[in-house]
Amino acid sequence: MEETLLLKDLNCPNCAAKIEDRIRKMDVVETANFTIATHQLKLTGSWEDREALKRDIQDICDAIEEGVTVADYERKSKAAMDDHDHDHGSDAVTIAVIVAGLLFMAYEGLTTVVPSIGLPESIETPIYYIAYILLAFPVLRIAGRNILKGQVFDENFLMSIATLGAIAIDALPEAVGVILFYRIGEFFEEKATDRSRTEIMNAVDMRPQEVRVVDTCCGGEIVVMAPEKVEVGSTIEVRPGDLIPLDGTVLEGETRVNTAPVTGEPVPVRAVPGTQLMSGCINESGRITMRVDKVLEESMVTKILDAVENAASSKPKIDRFITRFARVYTPIVVFLALAVAIIPSLITGEWNKWIYTALTFLVISCPCALVLSVPLAFFSGIGNASKHGILLKGGRVIEALANVKAVALDKTGTITSGEFKVHSVETVGSHVSSSQLLSMAAAIEAVSTHPIATSIVSEAKVQGITVEASDFVQELAGEGMVGMTDGQQVLVGNRRLMERYAVQGYPTEAAEYGTEVLVAEGNTYLGRIIIADEARPDSAEAIADLNSQDIKTVMLTGDAEASANYIAKETGVSAVRAQLLPQDKLSVVQEIRSEYGPTMFVGDGINDAPVLAGADVGGAMGSGADAAIEAADVVFMRPSLTAIAHILDLSKATLRVAWQNVVFAIAVKILIMALGLMGYASMWWAVFGDTGVSILCILNSIRILRR
C-alpha cells in the first residue's frame, strides 16, 4: 500500500529527519521518505485505517516540531501554488519584534560610543529583560514543551540554554543580541528556503492556469475553464504566444510551436491539422484549435512535474550520510561544551570565561546548515535538468552520473536519426541510369512495408518518379523480392538473392557504409542502392563534448563493422562494438564497465530495457513516452546527444556544490569553536556560524538552477 501526505510548515531539516525516523519505526510502515523541498511524505506499508495513520503521524509531528500539520496530498493548480501558504500575520509579528530589537541594539551601540546618553541602570536593565522576553519567548516556550516530551537536542533548547547562560554570567546585553540575530537569521533562512523551493518548482511546473474551451453548442463561444476541469474530446483554442495547455491534436490552423520548455529543442516545429502536440510547448505564430487527447493529470506537463517530485524524494548517499552525521554531531558538541565549561574552569578558576566559551559551542551545535543545503543542491540540479528537457529519477542518479567514466551509445535512433534514407545509387555500365534503377527497385518494393523498402519508394517520389507497383511480386524471407516489370524479371535484395538466381557481375566487396540493396534484371546485375541511417546533425559536436570531459564513448550496433566504423569516424566515437545481437549488448556494457569504470548506456528506452537496467546509469532518448520514462534512470525528451554531455557536467557541478556546502558549514563551525577556545570568537560569531551559514549554503545551492 502506498500513500503520499503533506507535512505543512515543516521547515527544520533536523526535526524533519527525526520525524521521518520515528514514522519509519511505526509497525504499519515499511518505508517513509520525507522531501523537505516539496513537503511530501511518501509511505509504503500495510495500514488498514488511513485516518488513524494520519492521526499517529500528527502525534509524532506534535511531539517533535510545533505547528506542523499533516494533510492529504492534493496537487494544487498553478494559480493556487503561486499563493504562499505562510501566515502573513505571524510574519508581521516577527518583523515587528525584530525591528524593535534592532532599535534596541542601535541604542546599545550608541551608548557604547557615547556613554553619557545612556539610561540609568535601574531603567536600562528592565528594558534589557523586556527585550529578551519579547525576542526569546517563542524559543523558550517551544524548548520547554519539547523537554517535557523528551526532545532535548534541538535548536530551541540549545539557544535557550545559551542565552539564559549568558544572563547568568552577567552578559545580559549579549544574550539579547544573540537571540535577536538568531531570530533574524531564522526568519531569513525560512524565507530563503521558501524562495528557493518556489523558484525551482516554478521552473519545472508548466501547467496552465486556464484553458480556452470552444463551446460547440453555443456557436463556438470561448469559455475560460480551469485546466483540471477540461475533458478528453473537448475543443480548445490556443492563441499566438499561449502555452499549449493539454496534450492534444491540431484540428484547425497552422503555426510554429516552440518545444524548448519540454524538450530543450531551440528550433520551432511546424504544426498543421493532424499534428499531435505536447502540453508545455509554446504556440508562436498562428491561432489553432485542438482536440484534447489527455486530461491534465495524464498530460506531459503533469508527467514532468511527477518525475521531478519523485526524483526529489530519492535521496542521494551524501544526503543520507549528512542526516546520520547530524544525529551524532549535536550531542557530541553539547557534551564537548559541557567539558569546556567545567574542566578548564576547575583548573583556572575562570568560570565566567569558560562557561561563555561553552555557550558559544551550544549555539554552533545546530546542524541545520548541513542538513538543509544538500537536498536543496540536488533539487536545484533536478530542476535545471528538467528545464533542459532531461528527466532524472532522483538524487542517486545525479551521484551515479557524476562518476560516469564511459558512455555506451546505441547507434540506431541515438547517434543516428533512426530513419533509413537512400544514401547513393550506383549503376554498372550503360544498361540503366540511376533514376531508372531507382524506378525499377521502387516498383518491386512498393508492396512492402519494410523500412528499407519504404525509403526506396520515398526517394523515388522525391525525385519525381511515378511509382507503379509490379505484378507477381514474391518476397523471399531474409533475401529480398522478385517481381515482373515490363515483362522482365527484376530482383531486388541482398547477395543471397543474387546467388539464388545465379546473377553475374555483382561486387564482391560490401559497401563501405550502410545497407546495400542489389538490383538485377534476369541474371544481369544492374547496380545497387545504398540505404543509410545518417548521423544526427549534432552527434559529432556532442561526442566531442564528451571526449573533452574525458568520457570514453563506445558505439553499440548490430550493423556490419564497415558501416559502424563509418559512423564512428564521422562522429568521433572512441570505440565500436559491431554485429551485436540484442542479447549481446548487456554483456558488452559489463565489459566496458570492467575496462573503463562506471558506465552509462543510452538507447531508445523501450527495446533496450535489460541493458538500461544493467548499466550504472540507463538513459533513454525519445519524446518522453511512458515506456521510456519507466525504463530509464534518465529520460532525454529531445533526441539529441548534446543533452548527455550537459547532464554529466551538471551532475558533477551539483555534487561539487553539495560538498562545498558540507565542507563550508563544517569548516566554519570548527573554526568558530577553535576561536572560541582561544577566546576570540563570541556568541555572535556562533549565530553566524549557524543561521548565516545556512543562508549562504541555500544561495549557493540555487546557483545550480541558473547554470
Domains detected in the chain: 2-74 (3.30.70.100), 88-201+309-378+655-706 (no CATH), 211-242+247-293 (2.70.150.10), 417-534 (3.40.1110.10)
Q: In whole angstroms, what is the distance from residue 117 CA to residue 138 CA?
A: 32
Q: In whole angstroms, what is the distance from residue 654 CA to residue 677 CA?
A: 35
Task: Determine contact, residues 608/585, Cβ cutoff 8 Å.
Answer: yes
Give residue 109's pLDDT.
66
Task: Determine contact, residues 463/451, Cβ cutoff 8 Å.
Answer: no
Give 562: exposed, middle or buried? Use CB within 10 Å, 0-12, 13-18, 19+. middle
Give residue 266's pLDDT.
66
Q: In whole angstroms, what is the distance from residue 612 CA to residue 616 CA?
A: 8
Q: Report in angstroms the alpha-carbon separations of 704 from 85, 137, 395, 644.
A: 26, 38, 14, 17
Q: Cell 526517394 sits at which residue?
A: 459
Give residue 105's pLDDT.
64
Q: In whole angstroms, what is the distance from residue 390 CA to residue 629 CA?
A: 11
pLDDT digits (tens, 9 = 90+) for 152-188: 667 777 788 888 888 888 888 778 878 887 777 777 7
Give residue 272's pLDDT.
92
Give residue 481's pLDDT.
92
Give residue 274's pLDDT.
92
Q: Report in angstroms the alpha-carbon separations of 332 from 17, 371, 609, 681.
A: 18, 17, 47, 20
Give residue 419's pLDDT.
76
Give residue 543's pLDDT.
92
Cα dihedral sign, 660-665-668-670:
negative
Residue segments in the chain with a per-residue pLDDT below the cut of 50:
82-86, 88-89, 624
Catalytic choice (410, 559, 616, 633): 410
Beta strands in 151-279, from DSSP E residues, in sequence order: 211-215, 221-225, 235-238, 248-252, 255-258, 269-271, 276-277
- Find the DSSP H helices in 351-508: 351-364, 368-387, 395-402, 434-445, 451-462, 495-500
- The grid coordinates of residue 613 equal 537496467
Closest CA to 352 of 169, 178, 505: 169
Find the helix or strand (DSSP H, E) in which 626 lies: helix 626-631
Give residue 66's pLDDT.
74
Q: Is the pTM of this model over 0.75?
A: no
Is 410 annotated in the active site?
yes
